[in-house]
């Protein structure tokens, strides 16, 4: 199955063979991440990455990149992402980077031994072996970029540091090549200048890129079903109500916080992995990335959903990062909780009434009275006798007026909690939650708690509040009366074993419909299905691909006749330091003779050390005028988009970013299913 349009080409098959179908010198830049050594098995003869020896893997990559060199322009660049692997004796897993740099999950396979020439637990050094082999084969090795993750996937190793980086090698065919440094400049991090209030211009991009880790290659289509929701600052939303740029709750560094996301949706037909038990409901594509903990050893790792077992635990909750700003105070937080659950708003006066039974809960009466005194409330108490379950009961009415009543109604309009409570300090959120449990809930001897509400929006806000405190919080609706209940349990990890600890909660379930996934810079996000939240993996973030494409291709495009990229023309203005100049893009110019007046372009001479700024500007003024006239004449000249190639196309992330920035993309993908899903992700349909 191949696909072609004016912006995208997808070729299905072995990359070495399909590269031979491309014209020579037809590509401006290559951005790719080959399968890592020993990582995944595509059940295809001759596939890359399943060699038994690292030397064979390196040789295979060298052969592929010889063909890449043929299709790459002489001024082109290659951006090659590789992670490392560890030699492993025994076990039923590949050498891949579950135990290495990226936390990409490995598919369990046949037991292996450390490759010949390597000791058990050796770091294989695959990236540098490949880089040196390519250099020996004629490539220029121009840069080793460190891709550092601020939130690496947890590793359970105790005898070495947690791996949190990969390499991106910049390779070229020639000594001189196209590189748009202006397109990928980064903000200056000069702390002394910041403290002094000095504004510094952007600086040349460094070779350490701090970008949150991507999932492993097979997780590019790790998705959930259409009943799964994401949490936003205004509540839970299904995929059809989410748009690119929306904030969702994500998990990073053992905390929940908000991050913007983009959303990807695909048609799916087949079996999903189903997890169904009292505290969790999930429907995941088989290659979905799950963070799991082994019940016995406590080892935390990342695994595809298809390899989940009852002996594993899944993450369902985590505490939240919140602002350091003060909230309303613990006393006010607790009083608001009582007002929301046991309060009544008078329709005829500026009065709030909080009810509590003196017979059943005399200590609650004392608590409410004490809170009212602490906040300085002016209130009255009224006792009345009412019948409860056929018996007389004494009920206390706390009648609150004036400013305190007005503030209660402001903090929780119509007794509805506002999202701002999630920014309160932890102690205040606990005070609010505990008051609501005491007001409209129940505490069990096994430490499980619950709150009941008639209004769905109210119970969902209470669930989110509990989640922010690291509690497992699930919502159900009683069949008898339609009342909503949120059940609260301590403990972030949930076993996949059945209630009897013998049976499994994992099965397969046929599904036909939309599957979807968010892309966020963090590795995991907070999801919910059937009222039961869980923390799960996300899809490939394009952040790593963007600077490679922006630096390696021209935003203006290339010559339709020869493919030479247009050059950016900038002006410089002296900055606050001798090495920091402000720059401005004046326009774009062609660099080949297929355009008129190209030979008239003139370079500006450098300013002499003894020459004043005024004298220099006067000297170059005629040249500046000629350059401005030429730039104006070329504004409407025709170009075609630069071409970006990924010979290991996977999910099509390279193509997604290339098309987003107006470039043409060419992908080669071995697996037809991935090629089809890439088309769906890129919004293409085969007629």
Residue 17 neighbours by CB under 8 Å, 6+ apart: none
DSSP per-residue string spanning 467-529: HHBT-EEEEEE-TTT--EEEEEE--SEEESB-TTSSSBSEEEEEEEEEEEEEE-SSSEEEEEE
Element (H, E) at 312: strand 312-315
Residue 583: pLDDT band with limits 50, 70, 90: confident
Rounded Cα distance between 451 and 471, Å, is 13
What pLDDT is stored for residue 92 in this prediction? 28
Query: Which token pair is 388?
Result: 């409860």
DSSP state of 123: B
Residue 618 neighbours by CB under 8 Å, 6+ apart: none
Residue 678: pLDDT band with limits 50, 70, 90: confident
**Exposed, middle or buried by CB within 10 Å (0-12, 13-18, 19+), for 116?**
exposed
Rounded Cα distance between 462 and 236, Å, is 12
* Residue ranges of domains in the chain, CATH in brackets: 19-222+544-553 (3.40.50.150), 223-318+493-538 (2.170.16.10), 330-489 (3.10.28.10), 564-641 (no CATH)
Residue 333 pLDDT more than 60? Answer: yes
Q: Which of 31-40, 391-400, 412-421 holds the top average pLDDT?
A: 412-421
Query: Which token pair is 568?
Result: 């950016």
Residue 100: pLDDT band with limits 50, 70, 90: very low
**Within a 10 A sphere around the Cβ of 468, how many other Cβ atoms?**
24
DSSP state of 378: -
What pLDDT is stored for residue 196 in this prediction? 61
Average pLDDT, the chain: 86
* Cα distances (angstroms) measured from residue 523 to each of 246, 287, 418: 17, 15, 29
Q: Is 616 helix (H, G, I), strand (E, B) or coil?
A: helix
What pLDDT is stored for residue 260 in this prediction? 85
Average pLDDT of the residues in 611-630: 94
Residue 170 pLDDT more than 70? Answer: yes
What pLDDT is stored for residue 46 in this prediction? 61
To the nearest 10 degrees (0 to 180), the angle between helices 456-468 and 426-440 is 140
Q: What is the pLDDT of residues 16-72, one digit of tens each?
A: 999 999 999 999 999 999 988 866 555 555 677 778 789 999 999 999 999 999 999
Q: What is the pLDDT of residues 273-324, one digit of tens each?
A: 999 999 999 999 887 878 888 877 777 777 778 888 898 999 999 888 776 6
Average pLDDT of the residues in 575-603: 87
Query: Which token pair is 59?
Result: 């040789």
Residue 502 pLDDT more than 80? Answer: no
Burial 418-446 (b: 16+ CB within 10 A, else e): eeebbebbeebbbbbbbbbbbbbbeeeee
Q: Which of 146-160, 225-239, 384-398 holds the top average pLDDT?
A: 225-239
Rounded Cα distance between 441 and 450, Å, is 5
Residues of the chain above pLDDT 90, percent: 56
Residue 435 pLDDT more than 60? Answer: yes
């Amino acid at each position: 199955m191949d696909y072609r349009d004016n912006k995208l080409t997808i070729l299905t098959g072995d990359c070495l063979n399909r590269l031979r179908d491309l014209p020579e010198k037809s590509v401006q830049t290559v951005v790719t991440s080959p399968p890592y050594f020993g990582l995944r098995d595509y059940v295809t003869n001759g596939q890359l990455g399943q060699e038994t020896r690292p030397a064979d893997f390196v040789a295979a990559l060298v052969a592929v990149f010889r063909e890449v060199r043929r299709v790459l322009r002489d001024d082109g660049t290659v951006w090659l992402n590789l992670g490392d692997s560890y030699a492993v004796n025994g076990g039923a897993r590949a050498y891949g980077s579950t135990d290495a740099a990226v936390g990409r999950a490995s598919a369990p396979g046949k037991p292996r031994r450390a490759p010949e020439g390597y000791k058990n637990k050796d770091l294989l050094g695959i990236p540098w072996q490949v880089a040196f082999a390519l250099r020996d084969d004629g490539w220029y090795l121009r840069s080793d970029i460190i891709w550092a993750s601020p939130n690496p996937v947890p590793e359970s190793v105790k005898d070495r540091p947690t791996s949190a980086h990969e390499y991106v090698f910049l390779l070229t065919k020639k000594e001189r090549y196209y590189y748009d440094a202006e397109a990928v400049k980064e903000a200056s991090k000069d702390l002394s200048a910041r403290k002094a209030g000095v504004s510094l211009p952007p600086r040349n991009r460094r070779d350490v890129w701090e970008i949150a880790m991507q999932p492993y290659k097979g997780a590019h289509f790790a998705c959930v079903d259409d009943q799964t929701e994401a949490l936003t600052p205004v509540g839970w939303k299904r995929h059809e109500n989410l748009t690119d740029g929306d904030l969702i709750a994500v998990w990073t560094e053992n905390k929940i916080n908000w991050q913007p996301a983009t959303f990807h949706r695909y048609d799916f037909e087949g079996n999903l992995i189903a997890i169904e038990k009292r505290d969790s409901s999930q429907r995941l594509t088989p290659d979905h990335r799950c963070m799991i903990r082994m019940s016995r050893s406590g080892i935390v790792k990342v695994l595809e959903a298809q390899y989940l077992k009852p002996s594993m635990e899944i993450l369902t909750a985590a505490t939240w990062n919140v602002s350091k700003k003060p909230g309303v105070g613990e006393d006010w937080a607790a009083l608001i909780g009582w007002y929301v659950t046991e309060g009544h708003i008078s329709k005829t006066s500026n009065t709030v009434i909080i009810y509590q039974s003196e017979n059943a809960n005399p200590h609650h009466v004392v608590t409410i009275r004490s809170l009212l005194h602490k906040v300085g409330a002016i209130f009255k108490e009224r006792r009345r006798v009412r019948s409860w379950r056929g018996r007389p009961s004494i009920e206390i009415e706390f009648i609150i007026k004036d400013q305190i009543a007005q503030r209660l109604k402001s903090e929780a309009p119509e007794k509805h909690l506002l999202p701002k409570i999630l920014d309160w300090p932890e102690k205040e959120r606990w005070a609010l939650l505990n008051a609501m449990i005491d007001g409209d809930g129940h505490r069990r001897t096994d430490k499980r708690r619950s709150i009941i509400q008639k209004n769905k929006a109210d119970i969902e806000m209470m669930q989110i509040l509990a989640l922010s405190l690291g509690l497992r919080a699930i919502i159900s609706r009683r069949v008898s009366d339609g009342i909503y209940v949120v059940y609260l349990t301590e403990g972030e990890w949930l076993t996949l074993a059945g209630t009897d600890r013998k049976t499994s909660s994992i099965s397969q379930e046929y599904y036909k419909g939309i599957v979807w996934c968010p892309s966020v810079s963090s590795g995991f996000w907070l999801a919910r299905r059937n009222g039961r939240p869980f923390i799960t993996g996300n899809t490939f973030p394009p952040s790593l691909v963007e600077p490679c494409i922006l630096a390696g291709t021209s935003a203006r495009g290339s010559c339709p006749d020869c493919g030479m990229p247009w050059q950016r023309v900038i002006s410089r203005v002296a900055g606050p330091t001798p090495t920091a100049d402000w720059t401005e893009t004046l326009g774009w110019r062609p660099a080949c003779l297929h355009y008129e007046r190209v030979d008239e372009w003139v370079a500006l001479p450098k300013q002499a050390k003894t020459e004043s700024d005024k004298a220099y500007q006067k000297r170059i003024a005629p040249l500046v005028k000629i350059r401005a006239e030429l730039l104006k004449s070329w504004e409407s000249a025709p170009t075609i988009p630069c071409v970006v190639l990924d010979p290991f196309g996977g999910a099509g992330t390279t193509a997604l970013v290339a098309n987003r920035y107006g470039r043409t993309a060419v992908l080669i993908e071995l697996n037809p299913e991935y090629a089809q899903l890439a088309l769906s992700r890129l919004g293409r349909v085969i007629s």
